[in-house]
Amino acid sequence: MTSSSNQLQALKQFTTVVADTGDFKQLAQFHPQDATTNPSLILKAVQKPDYAPLLADTVARFRDRALDEVMDRLLVRFGCEILALIPGRVSTEVDARLSFDTQATVARAERIIGLYQAEGVAKERVLIKIASTWEGIQAAAALEQRGIRTNLTLLFSFCQAVACGQARVQLISPFVGRIYDWYKKSAGAAWDEAASAGANDPGVKSVRQIYNHYKKFGIATEVMGASFRNVGQITALAGCDLLTIAPDLLAQLAAAEAPLARALDAQAAQAMDLPPVQYNEAGFRFALNDDAMATEKLAEGIRAFCADAIKLEALMKAA
């Protein structure tokens, strides 16, 4: 157990803390190592007065280009601003409308990396975010072989994580809070918040299973818990490779002084008696289909990111 002056400092002793935001002006106060963005976060940011000029300037400079290219240039512009404030990596998302097209995802990822390199950013500082569909995972495998690092997002199930490990992706983002949301909604009036908190939270349990599997079998893919609803979910995953946390929850951690213990431990996982697991395409699709929560949340997540990408395009057209 560690007793640093606050829980955010304590957490950083076990885990790489990542800021989950498009609002880069908020970043500096929390000193995160890395940062993640997605279309929803960028959409939220460009509607604030502080960031509207970034949208207007990007559209003005590249008005003659295809809308999808202007979108990528806007995402890279945000990424470059974020990279100026953090020592590590930024995650930038491929358009979710390409989630079932392996080749188009690869091409879009390569363009995003090219745009970063044109701004003087080394590709090692960028993670390309891709939805954890079968097609997305295959795209990530191809990109990793070309030296482009990936972050597989919208990950809700063990089978998605296993397939990502097989593909040797750099990093996965299991969505703790959205798993919790599904189980809470599914249980309805029978939901017991206290009994399903902390280590018993269904989202926390999902990440713990993935983490233990990766460490047991020497899978190098980094595990980054994401999409948190409360501080308890975060502290229950202390020791995870990385955790990406929204600014309001970072502030709560910084204000909390309770001691924080390591919850996940690689050495303990290596000693566990766990079965090896692998998936081919048919096995993956069956396992994902067999998990109602993961199937629903993956589809819902892709739909939401697509809807926000379309809203962002509308703002760009109007700019």
pLDDT in tens, 157-183: 999 999 999 999 999 999 999 999 999
Average pLDDT over residues 284-290: 98
Residue 6's pLDDT band (boundaries 50, 70, 90)?
very high
Confidence check: pLDDT of 316 > 90: yes
For the domain 7-318, what is the CATH code?
A: 3.20.20.70
**Entry pTM:** 0.96
Q: Which of 12, 48, 123, 129 is catalytic?
A: 129
Mean pLDDT of 289-310: 97
Phi, psi of 236 (to 5 degrees): -75, -10
Give the model's confidence band at 86: pLDDT under 50 very low, under 70 low, under 90 confident, else very high. Answer: very high
Nearest to 11 by CA among 30, 24, 27, 29: 30
At residue 76, the pLDDT reads 97
Structure tokens, 253: 């951690």
Mean pLDDT confidence for 135-148: 98
129 catalytically annotated = yes
Share of the chain above pLDDT 70, in %: 99
pLDDT reported for residue 3: 52
**Contact criterion met (CB below 8 Å) for 71 and 96:** no
| From 23-37, 227-241, 265-279, 294-308, the region with the lowest mean pLDDT | 23-37
Angle at 126 between CA 26 and CA 17, to 5 degrees: 45
Task: For residues 41 and 58, give the distance between their C-alpha atoms in angstroms, rounded to a whole number.
Answer: 17
Which sequence spans correspond to the domains of the chain? 7-318
Res. 38 pLDDT band, cuts 50 70 90: confident
**CA 209 and chain centroid, separation:** 18
Determine which of 37-41, 53-57, 58-62 has the lowest per-residue pLDDT on average: 37-41
**pLDDT value at residue 294:** 98
- 39 pLDDT band, cuts 50/70/90, is confident
Q: Is the pLDDT of residue 2 over 60?
A: no
pLDDT at 1 over 70: no
pLDDT at 214 over 90: yes
Query: Which residues does 169 contact at the CB level (< 8 Å), separation at least 6?
Result: 137, 140, 141, 144, 150, 151, 152, 221
Give the per-residue pLDDT at 144.
98
Is 167 buried (19+), middle (13-18) or exposed (0-12) by CB count in 10 A? Answer: buried
pLDDT band at 65 (very low <50, low <70, confident <90, very high): very high
pLDDT confidence of residue 4: 64
